[in-house]
Amino acid sequence: MTNMIEWRIYYGDGTTFDNTKGLPSEAPSLNVQVILCKNKINGRNIYHTWDWYYFKENEWRGCDIHGLIDQLLMDKKGVVTAIKQGRTIKDEVYEDILKKALNDTDFSRRIVNNKLDKPIGSSGGVMLND
């Protein structure tokens, strides 16, 4: 654990968990809505609307079930150290959580798009241009 915030998870019940509270594996596993991570290149990464999230090589990523299986079975670089599950919630609740995440002052605004964010039109997520 560190005193500097590197990532934060937002849950459907309005709670959050970040690296100052514990390791990725210690974060609650269900009802993940948004994960924010600091990124030296673009300011921050924003992962949301994924079915699954995993922590590997010191960063969070989002994926569908097939991507998760790939990471677990075909893992050649690094080890997945935490797995979290997304959850569908009411649109209004999700939108409020996403707004809170986007306005989180512990993370700078994005400077450029990141290829790791879900591209527009893909199933399960969207790229945010904030």
Chain segment 29-56, per-residue pLDDT in tens: 999 999 999 988 878 889 999 999 999 9
Rounded to 5 degrees, what are φ and ψ at 108? Answer: -70, 160
For residue 109, the model assigns a pLDDT of: 76
Tell me the average pLDDT across 85-101: 96
Q: Residue 108 pLDDT > 80, yes or no? A: yes
The phi and psi torsions of 43 (rounded to 5 degrees) equal: 95, -55
**pTM of the prediction?**
0.83
Domain ranges of the chain: 7-102
What is the number of other CB atoms lying within 10 angstroms of the CB of residue 87? 14
Tell me what percent of the residues of the chain surpass a pLDDT of 90: 64
Query: Is 44 in contact with 59 (CB distance < 8 Å)?
Result: no
